[in-house]
Chains A and B, each alone.
Chain A
Amino acid sequence: MQGLNPFGHRNAEQGRPAPVRHAPLRPAPQPEKVTPRRDPAPSRFAYRLNRMMLRPLMRRLIRVGLPAFLMAMVGGIWLSDDTRRANLTSGVEGLVDKVQHRDAFMVHSMRIEGASDVVANGLRAMLPVTLPASSFDIDLAKLREKVRMLDAVEAVDLRITPGGVLSAVVTERVPAIMWRHARGIELLDKTGHRVASVTARDVRKDLPIIAGEGAERAAPEALALIDAAGPILPRLRGLERVGERRWDLVLDNDQRIKLPEDGALRALERVVAMDRAQSLLSRDVLVVDLRNSIRPVVQIGLEAQNAIRRARGQVEIGPDGQPLDEKSKASAGGKITSKTGTDAKKT
């Protein structure tokens, strides 16, 4: 203890009593603030909950089902109000409208090329909107289909060119033939497609005419036949479709050339050749029948028949096929007699 004395040397202060040193007051014992140690083991409830959460179905429900449900619920509640819904739809529509009606998307005019006035007017009438309109409102594919439905139009090229012009390049069908049928007269193009209806034959005198049911389906063949007619073309009145399967060439003077179903063109060429060689068609011949190619048949007229009968010394026959003196007791079946009496002359 003396060594702790800071004053002077040891010898100088020998015998001095040690200074009284009071023991310092010990700090009052602090109340222990240790919290009781938490049990690391999960409680039974926590353990069961944990195990339940580990089930695959539960995990999927929590991770996917619950967020989806919450989103759907929030959205549903928000949308359940009428005004909000209206605001939302009008807002979206306004935005869409604003974008679609930008100047870059607007179509101001329509340009039609290669169409006659009638078709052009029809095309303008088909446009679903009044110009100027947004190009989003014009469905080009649909419009193209609609235009293609016009009989007079063969092809149309629709596009919106930069600058807001709706350009339509129309290829019209060219009428090549006329078709007379029970319901009127129609113009057909070279494929047989209808172009327009006309009221009278005189409208297009330059076009050849065909007639009969189903004639329009064989129009290309008819055109080929007309091309092949050559020297007899001036005498040609038209073509008639018989039984929807074969052609009859009708000439003036009611002459008729019956062509077969197959190889009509070759048969016609044969007739033309015969006409050139023997002037067949300028004689009194009613029908040249080429339906059987190995046995062409010619039906001669009444004058010629009577000339033959006179030369043979037989009784002349009238236009109904009955002998002239027996005409008073004319009976039915004259047609048959006429048929049997018809002399077939082989060429």
Chain B
Amino acid sequence: MKDLYQGQRSMRNMRRQAMQRGVIAVLDIGTSKIACLVLQFDGPGQFRETDGVGPMAGQSNFRVVGTAHTRSRGMRCGEIQTMAETERAIRTVIQQAQKDAGVRVDHVIACISGARPASYGLAGEVSLEAGKVAQYDVARVLGACEVPEFGRGREVLHAQPVNFAVDGRSGLSDPRDHSGEKLAVDMHVLTIDGDAAGNLVHCIRRCDMELAGVASASYASGLAALVEDEQELGAACIDLGSGTTGVSVFIKKHMIFADAVRFGGDLITQDIAKGLRVSYAQAERLKTLHGGVEATGRDDREMIDLGGDTGDWETDRRQVSRSDLIGIMRPRVEEILENVAEILEAAGFDFMPSRQVVLTGGGSQIPGLDVLAARMLGHNVRIGRPLRIQGLPHTATAPGFSSAIGLSLLTAHPQDEWWDFEMPAEAYPAGSIRRAYRWFKNNW
């Protein structure tokens, strides 16, 4: 875990460099769409309270100067399948975003949606010698967490301290200077497949960009789509993407669980293409223009031209009723939501105080989805659009951009991770020069 610690710390340094330069790119590599936002950090003080502009949820210190999105290539289930194709898609979108912004971008923060995420809740406990929690003790208790066997080739993507407890006083977000005998921590660790993450890093390196951070896409879309109260009281964000359906559960403004279903809207399109024997592009068009999940009597009479460009007149002039289309789409949507419900059940979502479910992502734009999801997942369901951030063009405010927008919010205000704390001294390898340096520093 030491390599990871160093790797993540070096990414934090990259992020700091990017902040000094003031320009950073945010890259959301999805299965069907790649989005890139170029953020400019002007620092705080751009608006004053007297101007009637509040802190704007802490995101008034940056603005979007360039936006680009293009069709993704070589991706499958949120993972990179063909490296060269994905690299080209990344090049395309970054060049477009740079052109839009008019500045050169060297640092990028990316998010990864697939790669089989797995959540772990870790607990650690240390006794306090000083009778008081010091900065050093926080790092020590984080290092004292029992690490389960993640499995071969897994890498830690997030390791966030969620809750601190001092002598049974639980629910502390900052335990420093508390008096007590014992300090305990609950940590949420999200691991992903190491090879998939390595592929992503490699692709970004090939585009001459420095990687300043990696985040989980379901976490990022949760940040963008959930309002502050929902994050505080407990909510689940379901990001209906095209290749994956991400699920993230938030409480007390911390993510406590994240997972992803390995299929999404792409599968619906494939079903339509197979069921109606149309091309994939045509099926996508039918889905977005006429799709739905709740059939009414009127939909029986509403005939849809299938269209097409096969060259066969009879084939191209076929018509289906909208009910037929809904009949194809609905079982697949139900299947996705069933999987989501399973995940939520596994996460213990039923025992949360507030069981708000927020649907976001491109798939959440299917008409009637909220009714179906309310029936399958619980009552408190709403369709979440991402937060408005400064300088974002209107074309990029759709639910499909929620993970990109959440990633830019995360860039502006990064969550404390394990690697943000100084590693305890005993974790350094014995005989290290740094240890000697510390000893000298402490004793002289």
Interface residues of A (CB under 8 A from B): 39-42, 44, 47-48, 50-51, 54-56
> B89 contacts A54, CB within 8 Å?
no
In the bound complex, how far is the Cα of B88 from the Cα of A42, in angstroms? 7
Which partner residue on chain A sits nearest B91 by CB separation?
A: A47
Task: Please provide the chain B residues from 399 to 424 with a CB less than 8 Å away from any CB of chain A in the complex.
Answer: none
A43 to B: closest C-beta gap in Å: 8
Q: B95: which of A39, A50, A56 is its contact (CB, 8 Å)?
A: A50
Q: In this complex, which of A41, A44, A54 has the most chain B Cβ atoms within 10 angstroms of its Cβ?
A: A41
Binary CB contact string for chain B from 76 to 110 against chain A (1 if under 8 A, 0 otherwise): 00000000000011011011001100111000000
Using Cβ atoms and an 8 Å threshold, which residues of chain A touch B92? 40-42
Using Cβ atoms and an 8 Å threshold, which residues of chain B touch A42? 91-92, 95
Q: In this complex, which of B73, B88, B89, B99 has the most chain A Cβ atoms within 10 angstroms of its Cβ?
A: B88
> A51 contacts B208, CB within 8 Å?
yes
Task: Answer whether residue B303 sits at the interface, using C-beta atoms and an 8 A cutoff.
Answer: no
In the bound complex, how far is the Cα of B105 from the Cα of A55, in angstroms? 9
Given contacts A42-B95, A48-B208, whether A54 and B88 have CB atoms under 8 Å apart is no
Task: Please provide the chain B residues from 99 to 152 with a CB less than 8 Å away from any CB of chain A in the complex.
Answer: 99, 102-104
> A50 contacts B70, CB within 8 Å?
no
> A51 contacts B88, CB within 8 Å?
no
Task: Answer whether residue B398 sits at the interface, using C-beta atoms and an 8 A cutoff.
Answer: no
In the bound complex, how far is the Cα of B103 from the Cα of A56, in angstroms? 8
Task: Answer whether residue B207 sits at the interface, using C-beta atoms and an 8 A cutoff.
Answer: yes
Using Cβ atoms and an 8 Å threshold, which residues of chain B touch A41? 73, 88-89, 91-92
In the bound complex, how far is the Cα of B70 from the Cα of A71, in angstroms? 42
B38 to A: closest C-beta gap in Å: 11
A102 to B: closest C-beta gap in Å: 54
Given contacts A54-B104, A55-B104, whether A47 and B95 have CB atoms under 8 Å apart is yes
In the bound complex, how far is the Cα of B102 from the Cα of A149, in angstroms? 67
Q: B91: which of A44, A54, A55, A56 is its contact (CB, 8 Å)?
A: A44
In the bound complex, how far is the Cα of B92 from the Cα of A343, in angstroms? 123
A38 to B: closest C-beta gap in Å: 12
> A40 contacts B70, CB within 8 Å?
yes
> B70 contacts A51, CB within 8 Å?
no
A-B contact count (CB 8 A): 31
Q: A39: which of B88, B207, B208 is its contact (CB, 8 Å)?
A: B88
Using Cβ atoms and an 8 Å threshold, which residues of chain B touch A55? 104
Contact-size category for B: 10 to 19
> A47 contacts B89, CB within 8 Å?
no
In the bound complex, how far is the Cα of B95 from the Cα of A241, in angstroms? 95
B32 to A: closest C-beta gap in Å: 15
Interface residues of B (CB under 8 A from A): 70, 73, 88-89, 91-92, 94-95, 98-99, 102-104, 207-208
In the bound complex, how far is the Cα of B68 from the Cα of A40, in angstroms? 14
> A50 contacts B88, CB within 8 Å?
no
Q: B207: which of A40, A47, A56 is its contact (CB, 8 Å)?
A: A47
In the bound complex, how far is the Cα of B104 from the Cα of A44, in angstroms? 16
Could you pull out 14 A-B pairs where Cβ atoms are within 8 angstroms? A40-B92, A41-B89, A41-B91, A41-B92, A47-B94, A47-B95, A47-B207, A48-B208, A50-B99, A51-B98, A54-B98, A54-B103, A54-B104, A55-B104
In the bound complex, how far is the Cα of B95 from the Cα of A51, in angstroms? 8
Using Cβ atoms and an 8 Å threshold, which residues of chain B touch A44? 91
Besides A41-B89, A54-B104, 12 new A-B residue pairs in contact (Cβ under 8 A), listed by A number: A40-B92, A41-B73, A41-B92, A47-B91, A47-B208, A50-B95, A51-B98, A51-B104, A51-B208, A54-B98, A54-B102, A54-B103
B183 to A: closest C-beta gap in Å: 48
In the bound complex, how far is the Cα of B99 from the Cα of A56, in angstroms? 13
B57 to A: closest C-beta gap in Å: 31
Closest 9 CB pairs of A and B: A41-B88, A54-B104, A41-B92, A47-B91, A42-B95, A41-B91, A50-B95, A42-B91, A55-B104
A37 to B: closest C-beta gap in Å: 13
A314 to B: closest C-beta gap in Å: 110
A57 to B: closest C-beta gap in Å: 11
Which partner residue on chain B sits nearest A39 by CB separation?
A: B88
Using Cβ atoms and an 8 Å threshold, which residues of chain B touch A56? 104
Using Cβ atoms and an 8 Å threshold, which residues of chain A touch B104? 51, 54-56
Using Cβ atoms and an 8 Å threshold, which residues of chain B touch A47? 91, 94-95, 207-208
B407 to A: closest C-beta gap in Å: 22
A318 to B: closest C-beta gap in Å: 107
Using Cβ atoms and an 8 Å threshold, which residues of chain A touch B207? 47
B223 to A: closest C-beta gap in Å: 30
> A50 contacts B98, CB within 8 Å?
yes
In the bound complex, how far is the Cα of B99 from the Cα of A42, in angstroms? 13
Using Cβ atoms and an 8 Å threshold, which residues of chain A touch B99? 50
Which partner residue on chain B sits nearest A56 by CB separation?
A: B104
In the bound complex, how far is the Cα of B89 from the Cα of A56, in angstroms? 25
In the bound complex, how far is the Cα of B70 from the Cα of A51, in angstroms? 19
In the bound complex, how far is the Cα of B207 from the Cα of A44, in angstroms? 8
Using Cβ atoms and an 8 Å threshold, which residues of chain B touch A40? 70, 92
Using Cβ atoms and an 8 Å threshold, which residues of chain A touch B73? 41
In the bound complex, how far is the Cα of B397 from the Cα of A175, in angstroms? 97
A160 to B: closest C-beta gap in Å: 58
In the bound complex, how far is the Cα of B207 from the Cα of A39, in angstroms? 17
In the bound complex, how far is the Cα of B95 from the Cα of A55, in angstroms? 13
Using Cβ atoms and an 8 Å threshold, which residues of chain B touch A54? 98, 102-104
In the bound complex, how far is the Cα of B245 from the Cα of A271, in angstroms? 126
Which partner residue on chain A sits nearest B103 by CB separation?
A: A54
A39 to B: closest C-beta gap in Å: 7
In the bound complex, how far is the Cα of B73 from the Cα of A99, in angstroms? 73
Q: In this complex, which of B73, B92, B102, B104 has the most chain A Cβ atoms within 10 angstroms of its Cβ?
A: B104
A229 to B: closest C-beta gap in Å: 85
Which partner residue on chain B sits nearest A52 by CB separation?
A: B104
In the bound complex, how far is the Cα of B85 from the Cα of A40, in angstroms? 11
B47 to A: closest C-beta gap in Å: 27
A194 to B: closest C-beta gap in Å: 73
Which partner residue on chain A sits nearest B88 by CB separation?
A: A41
Using Cβ atoms and an 8 Å threshold, which residues of chain A touch B94? 47
In the bound complex, how far is the Cα of B268 from the Cα of A70, in angstroms? 60
In the bound complex, how far is the Cα of B71 from the Cα of A40, in angstroms? 10
In the bound complex, how far is the Cα of B88 from the Cα of A41, in angstroms? 5
In the bound complex, how far is the Cα of B70 from the Cα of A55, in angstroms? 24
Using Cβ atoms and an 8 Å threshold, which residues of chain A touch B88? 39, 41
B384 to A: closest C-beta gap in Å: 32
A49 to B: closest C-beta gap in Å: 10
In the bound complex, how far is the Cα of B70 from the Cα of A326, in angstroms? 138
Which partner residue on chain B sits nearest A41 by CB separation?
A: B88
In the bound complex, how far is the Cα of B38 from the Cα of A54, in angstroms? 14
Which partner residue on chain B sits nearest A47 by CB separation?
A: B91
In the bound complex, how far is the Cα of B73 from the Cα of A40, in angstroms? 11
